[in-house]
Chain A
Amino acid sequence: MNINLTLIGQLIAFVAFVAFCMRFVWPPIMAAMLERQNKIADGLAAADRAGHDLEIAQQQVAEQLTEAKKEAAVIVEAANKRAQAVVEEAKQAATAEADRVKTAASAEIEQERARAQEQLMSQVSALALAGAEKVLGAEIDADKHADILKTLSADNG
């Protein structure tokens, strides 16, 4: 338990080892650890950001979906309206056509009827003339009596 030169030797060794540690051991290890710390922090921040981005993207997707749905609804509605309009138009056209056809038919009928009446009238007048000839026993000059006959037929018409 003597105090001797060992004390000085240990002091020198102590200084040497501390100097070595301070110069060659501590700084590189701390630098590496700090670098890793930053790397991990960056990684975590990036992960956070990615999560945030995902959230935003999901929100956007939802918004776009809603918008698309709305648009679709509008389009369907427009289509429905258009279809109704087309049906309505077609109906109107059909009605108009039908009216037209009906009118044409009734006009024709009227014409036919008039023609038949005229024919009939002329036949009746001929018959009446023939009957009157027979009754009178005399010949009736058709040309002479034409205006009478015409009046007659006009009366009967």
Chain B
Amino acid sequence: MAANGDNQTVSEYIVHHLTNLTYGKLPEGFEREDGTVVSAGGQWTLAHGPNEMSVMGFNAVHVDSMLWSVGLGLIFCWLFRRVAVQASADTPSGWINFVEMVVEFVDGTVKDTFHGRNPLIAPLALTIFVWVFMMNLMDLIPVDLIPHTLMLVGVDYQKIVPSTDPNITMGMAIGVFVLMLFYSIKVKGFGFVKELTLNPFNHPLFIPVNLFMEVVGLLAKPFSLGLRLFGNMYAGEMIFILIAALFSVGIFWMLPAALLQVGWAIFHILVITLQAFIFMVLTIVYLSMAHEDH
């Protein structure tokens, strides 16, 4: 797992691994790395280097994160849809059995936490759990395998773990947040406003204080949801990269680095499962809170 360029430093290697393949809009008049100047009206293109990426700002898409994330989501849909088609009251076997086990586990968790009646919560929890788990699972693929292979065919950057991209985790967290707001208003109606203004100090004078505290608490939820997953996965990925960087230090580091890599991967099996589970449980808890009157 040597670094790709011979003259690449360890820090370059690490930064390279943490850079997404970005497709975005360069502003008019920007001088690119190869010396060309972007023509009028801007230009949509693949970014070369971190400078172009930062210039692109919000008008960019992380192609790698998007493709891996959607691809894994499609795999999830395909695998589970196959079971949904085949499932019958007869004796289940093999993959059907496994899927039913997962479904039953998710169903149990939802029933433990969420006491209302909402046909969305359980499928939502299942999708989150399996999808996040699969995105996290990409972390266990050796860090250099896919980026380096793709580099050989001309793709500069490749980050294969979508959940190490805050856009991905926050995208899901915002989805959950929108659902929270929707169900809060749908279930409680005006009670939701009261909850925001008359809690915890039930007095008209305290409405601004209450509102401030409650809104902060409310907004903290999607951030805690999305950034927790991102932080954990990013840190895990970082450690994989650091261990991988050890290989380039010297021949004597080969064996310890390999052992560390294996050890961290084994430990990481626990982490990725746990993080997927936490994301799912928090989603259920937040939506359950959205349904319950205090």
- B293 is an interface residue with CB less than 8 A from chain A: no
Alpha-carbon distance between A32 and B85 when the two chains are bound, in angstroms: 10
Given A6-B167, A25-B123: A14 touches B81 (CB 8 Å cut-off)? no
Q: A17-B127, A33-B104 are in contact. Are A6 and B84 (CB under 8 A)?
A: no
In the complex with contacts A30-B107, A32-B87, A25-B65 CB distance below 8 A: no
- Give the most central of B83, B89, B92, B123: most A CB within 10 Å: B123
What residues of chain A lie closer than 8 Å to B90, measured between beta carbons?
Answer: 36
A-chain residues with CB within 8 Å of residue B70 when the two chains form the complex:
13
* B171 and A22 contact, CB distance less than 8 A: no
Per-residue 0/1 for B42-67: is the Cβ within 8 Å of any A Cβ (1 yes, 0 no)? Answer: 00000000000110111111100110
Q: Is A7 a contact of B80 with CB atoms below 8 Å?
A: no
Are B171 and A6 interface neighbours, CB within 8 A?
yes
B165 within 8 A of A: yes
A20, A32, A38: residue with the most chain B Cβ atoms closer than 10 Å: A32
Asked whether any CB of chain A lies closer than 8 Å to the CB of B100, the reply is yes
B24 located at the interface, meaning its Cβ lies under 8 Å from any Cβ of chain A in the complex: yes
* Nearest A-chain residue to B86, judged by Cβ: A32
Distance, CA A18 to CA B176, complexed state (A):
11
The one of A11, A18, A31, A35 that contacts B174, using a Cβ cutoff of 8 Å = A11
Q: How far is the CB of B61 from chain A (nearest CB, A)?
A: 5
| Residues 62-85 of chain A, each 1 if its beta carbon lies under 8 Å from chain B, else 0 | 000000000000000000000000
Question: When the two chains form their complex, are residues B88 and A26 in contact, meaning their CB atoms are under 8 A apart?
Answer: no
Residues of B within 8 A of A13 (CB): 66, 69-70, 73, 171
Give the contacting residue for A1; candidates B103, B107, B126, B166; CB below 8 A. Answer: B166
- Within the assembled complex, what's the spacing in Å between the Cα atoms of A134 and B157? 188
Closest B-chain residue to A31, C-beta based?
B87
How many residue pairs between the two chains, A and B, have CB atoms under 8 Å in the bound complex? 140
A10 pairs with B166, CB closer than 8 A: no
Q: CB-CB < 8 A to A3: which residues of B?
A: 58, 166-167, 170
Q: A1-B166, A6-B66, A29-B103 are in contact. Are A20 and B87 (CB under 8 A)?
A: no
Q: Contacts A21-B80, A24-B81, A28-B87 known; A4 to B120 CB distance under 8 Å? A: no
Encode contact with B along A87-128: 1 for CB under 8 Å, 0 otherwise.
Answer: 000000000000000000000000000000000000000000
Instruction: Report how many residues on chain A are interfacial, defined by Cβ distance under 8 Å.
Output: 34
Residue in B closest to A19 when the chains form the complex, CB atoms: B123
Whether the pair A21, B123 counts as a contact (CB closer than 8 A) is yes
Q: Is A157 an interface residue (CB 8 A)?
A: no
**Is residue B175 contacting chain A, with contact meaning CB distance below 8 A?**
yes
Closest to B24 in A: A4
Distance to closest chain B CB from A18 (angstroms) = 5
Whether B89 lies near A7 (C-beta < 8 A) is no
Task: Check A20 against B166 for contact (C-beta < 8 Å).
Answer: no
A58–B84 CA distance with the chains assembled, in angstroms: 46
The distance in angstroms between the C-alpha atoms of A26 and B83, with both chains bound, is 10
A39 in contact with B172 (CB, 8 Å)? no
Q: Which residues of B contact A9 (CB under 8 A)?
A: 61, 66, 167, 171
Q: Are A29 and B171 in contact, CB atoms less than 8 angstroms apart? A: no
In angstroms, how far is the closest chain A Cβ from the Cβ of B68?
11
- The answer to whether B131 touches A10, judged by C-beta atoms less than 8 angstroms apart, is no
Question: How many angstroms between the C-alpha atoms of A30 and B102 in the bound complex?
Answer: 12
The answer to whether B168 has its CB under 8 Å from any CB of chain A is yes
User: Is there a chain A Cβ closer than 8 Å to B193's Cβ?
Assistant: no
* Chain A residue contacts of B172, Cβ below 8 A: 10-11, 14
Between-chain CB contacts (< 8 Å), 7 pairs:
A2-B57, A3-B58, A6-B168, A6-B171, A13-B73, A29-B87, A36-B89
Q: A7-B171, A32-B100 are in contact. List 13 more A-B contacts (CB 8 A).
A: A2-B54, A6-B60, A10-B167, A10-B172, A17-B77, A22-B123, A26-B122, A28-B85, A29-B87, A30-B122, A32-B87, A35-B88, A36-B88
Q: Which 8 A-B pairs have the closest CB atoms?
A: A10-B171, A32-B87, A6-B167, A22-B123, A26-B123, A28-B84, A35-B89, A6-B62
Chain B contacts to A: CB under 8 angstroms: 18, 20, 22, 24, 53-54, 56-62, 65-66, 69-70, 73, 76-77, 80-81, 83-85, 87-90, 92, 99-100, 103-104, 107, 119-120, 122-124, 126-127, 131, 162, 165-168, 170-172, 174-175
